[in-house]
Structure 1
């Protein structure tokens, strides 16, 4: 487990709440009751805040809107489209709505749209096999084939396990192919960290991410102030991004 994942696991709402509650019980038994109450209340408030969609809309929405979404036809032209792997089998269009079955991912669909809009002649797919099997790059290549993108237009980087490796290994491939300017495709939430990584590698990168997912859904029953299990579950990804930004900055990767 890398440092970003470890820190994320420590501070995600339910984990931190459980840890603080356990510590509070120990302190209560040892007669440090005021400290115990403060810790228990802190954990409850942390989990409670992240159960509110309003928290995700504000904190996660800030990252998603750093690079505004634009249609494929509006995107500038480049030498290649770079797509980063990351839960490629998931395709929830809105984090506050249940997942729906889909054969593709928003990132791959976005890359196909950019290619068909003739924004770039090649698509570079980056991502290793997280489970030791087929790489994410290969999975994305197969999906692009189903979306009528020709195999000759796709290139694969099959070894990266982290965003930092995405940038490092893909930059080498881009240099080998003579690609100078690229459209970068990833989730809107992940885009700020990804852009910083690629620019640190000297790549002339243009953000062209998938559409934002942390948005108010068009359903009358939705309330940003009503606790939601989906909001609580999604908080892990938002917290992971902020932890990742901090860790990558501290290591000089961005």
Structure 2
């Protein structure tokens, strides 16, 4: 249900749906309603193509739990890393795609926390979204490549949603008598993740990745000029707001 709603509300998808519906109504002599739907669809795309929309609405989520320096993060019994790669882990939301973009992944943050001795264990959480290899296993391999010993890594291979991330990870934490965790995910995803994990009997410290929705250092960048990167990235912002609404309705947050 959630995936269907996200697909429908994606600006380009919703625009096409509304414009086509509006055109049909115009043909059926319901001109006012048809024109209104066409205008609404085009307006929805235009609004989400503006960088200022991402800066304002995405920034509200990213700044709910501000990024913190390693020194300011307290120690815990484990680091929990949630699967995902918002905006392909690019350091800037508006950075154009290239062969070697600047990136900072959740695994990078978890590795930095581990090597700073903030926790002796890392739990990676995420099932297989496609194929047979889970996100957790992929993150574990990357952590080991960054010098984290295999003995320090625990895997939760079955979750497909943020809610399941929390539920299934909690089972691992209970089995290992872990009560305090540092939660690592993207800045955009942190509000929903914290809302879910806060319902558990745990001491949770957020350690989000650095914010990605920032105004680039580019004199040609204009907040009120339609931007392809802003339109493309709007899916992630919409997904988080829709996810918060659905989770609230279901009593998960």
* TM-score interval for Structure 1 and Structure 2 normalised by the shorter chain: over 0.9
Deviation at 1:102, TM superposition (A): 6.8
Q: 1:225–1:31: structure 2 CA closer, same or farther, 3 Å change rule?
A: same
Per the alignment, residue 165 of structure 2 pairs with 166
Alpha-carbon distance between aligned partners in 1 of 2:218 and 2:74, rounded to the nearest angstrom: 34
1:44 aligns with 2:78: no
Provide the C-alpha distance between the structure 1 equivalents of 2:91 and 2:103, rounded to a whole number of angstroms: 12
Instruction: Report what 1:228 is aligned to.
Output: 227
| C-alpha distance in structure 1 between counterparts of 2:166 and 2:102, whole Å | 26
Superposition pairs for residues 1-254 of structure 1, below 5 Å? 3-87=1-85, 90-100=88-98, 101=100, 106-254=105-253
The 2-side partners of 1:155 and 1:136 are apart by 13
Decide whether the 8 Å contact of 1:13 with 1:232 is kept in 2.
Answer: yes
Measure how far apart 1:199 and its partner are: 1.4
Give runs of ≥4 in structure 1 deviating > 3 Å. 99-105
Aligned length: 252
Once the two structures are TM-superposed, the CA of residue 104 in structure 1 deviates from its matched residue by: 7.6
Where does structure 2 lack aligned partners over 5 or more consecutive residues? none
Mapped contact 2:90–2:103 kept (Cα < 8 A): no
Structure 2 counterpart SS, 1:200: coil
The answer (yes or no) to whether the contact 1:190–1:241 under 8 Å persists in 2 is: yes
- Report the RMSD for the aligned CA atoms in angstroms: 1.6
Query: For residues 86-125 of structure 1, what are the alpha-carbon distances to aligned partners after superposition, in whole Å with 9 as ceiling and x for unaligned?
Result: 1389321111112354798510000001111111111100
Q: TM-score, normalised by structure 2?
A: 0.96
CA contact (8 A) 1:88 1:136 kept: no
Give me the TM-score of the superposition, normalised by structure 1.
0.95
Unpaired runs of 5+ residues, structure 1, are: none
Are the aligned partners of 2:91 and 2:103 in contact in 1 as well (CA < 8 Å)? no
